[in-house]
Every structure is written in C-alpha cells, then in structure tokens.
Copies of this chain bind each other. A is one copy, B any other.
Amino acid sequence: MRTIKMTIAYRGTRYHGFQRQPNAQTVQGALEQQLSRVLNGQTSVYGCSRTDTGVHANEFVLHFHTEREIRCKNLVRALNGYLPDDISVLSAEDATSDFHARFDCRGKEYLYRIHCHESKNPFLTDLAFHYRRPLDLEKLKEAADAVVGTHDFHSFCAQAKPESDCVRTIYGTSLQRDGADVRIYIRGDGFLYNMVRIFVGTLLDINEGVFLPDAMPGILAAKNRLAAGRTAMAHGLYLNRVFYTDEVTDSRFGHL
C-alpha cells in the first residue's frame, strides 16, 4: 500500500471549506470524487487542516493511500484534467507509510490580503478584503509583534471552552505593503478556530482606534473572546504554507 503526499492550491470562494460535509460543496468532496475516478476506486484523503467557507489555500497538504501503480507525475496531470478550475494539484510524491498530513505538520503560515484603497479592485473581489481607510502599518506592526511567542490564545478563539488548551506558539508576523496591496503574514505551530481572522480583525480595530496599539498583551491576558476585536472577513484569508520541518521556526521570517 502506497502513501502519497499531495500539495494542492484552491480558491475557496465556491466551497464550504475544505472538509467533507453532507449536502455542501467542499474542496475535499470535489477532490475525492475526481481522485477516486483517476484511481478507479473510492479514495479518502486526509488534510493538514480545516479551512472556513471562502478561505483560500496557496498551499494545502494532504495524504491518501492507494494500491495503484500510477506514476505521481501522471496522477497530477490526470487529476488536474478532471478537477474544476478553482482546485489545482501542485505536486504529489510517495511518502513513508506512516506519513500523516495533519499529525506530522510542524506549523503553518497564513496570509491575509487587504486591498487598501478608496476604489474596489475588480480582480480581487473574492481574493482580498477591501478596506477603504488608510492603514498605519507601523502602528500595527507593534501590535502584531506582541503575539509572537508562546501564549494562551483563548481571546483569539471562537467557541473555545474555558478548559480548552489554547496555548500556541507564534514564530513571527510580517506586515507588508505594495501600493494598495497589503499582506499580513503569521506563522505558528498551530492555530485555533478563527484565530487568524480575529487577530487581523483586532489589528483593524487598533487601526481604527477601538484599541490602543499596546492593547495586545492585555487582550491575551484576558483569556476571553470578548476582549479581542472583530473577526475579519474570510475571503481575505489564505493558508499560505504548511511545514513538515523546523523551517517554520526560522527567525528570518518576514524577510523572505
């Protein structure tokens, strides 16, 4: 039995997230349908993560098992031929038999895209959050830096119970601007439900003066979702990279 590690990218607009659901279009559902067709037999995949409705992935890793002897290169080509335009297989390779896309994952990097301009961008409608106010990135960098390190992220989790383990390590954040195109990166060993969207929403609230730039430590300390800011819209969010080595902790993050 082979274990195959596959990397895909998808535009999440049409999907109710990655994870298979009855009566809802999902990336996993669409992928398994075509994979089973190519491999001539029902095939289940195991993803590295869930993603919310409308969230995109520049890189998403999954694995599956098969007895088929198809070459990985041909599998990629055949699958891309069948998949809809908004899901693409980037690569596939044989992995060790115990490889698990989720349990072996050492960390992830998320990207949040903002189109910061008075006018909308007709090419980014569902691909970046349209924000009409000026963004003070210097101020927000100070705030973003405060989440780096190991913290209890209860305040940045939707639907966490008081007893949930919300301790995660953030290795770095980076805020970049290229004209109207603003990109917020965050890299860590794991992320809670809606954590990146609440993080970005809190930054936007800081930008608007709802919180002061030095509010982050207090928000973390509160361990209460109500202490943090709003949840940023899903369509600006991308799972950007998935790591299976310690490269995720690279301190040069932000300079890549």
Contacts and interface: CB of A to CB of B under 8 A. Distances in A.
Contacts of A120: 80, 85, 88
Chain A interface residue bracket vs B: 20 to 34
Contact of A123 (B89, B119, B122, B127): B127
Contacts of A85: 120, 122, 125
A100 to B, nearest CB: 24
Interface string A53-73: 000100000000000000000
B9 A76 contact: no
Contacts of A89: 119
A9 B76 CA distance: 35
Nearest to A76: B119
A120 B88 CA distance: 6
Contacts of A127: 123
Total copies of the chain: 2
Given A85-B125, A125-B85, A90 B119 contact: yes
The residue in A86, A88, A89 that gathers the most chain B C-beta atoms within 10 A of its C-beta is: A88
Interface in A184-207: none
A120 B87 CA distance: 8
Interface in A8-39: 9-11
B86 A122 contact: yes
A174 interface: no
A239 to B, nearest CB: 13
A123 B90 contact: no
Nearest to A90: B119
Nearest to A87: B122
Nearest to A121: B88
A118 interface: yes
A1 B118 CA distance: 27
The residue in A56, A119, A122 that gathers the most chain B C-beta atoms within 10 A of its C-beta is: A122
Q: Which 8 A-B pairs have the closest CB atoms?
A: A85-B125, A11-B122, A86-B122, A88-B120, A88-B122, A88-B119, A90-B119, A10-B122
Interface of A: 9-11, 56, 76-77, 80, 85-91, 118-123, 125, 127
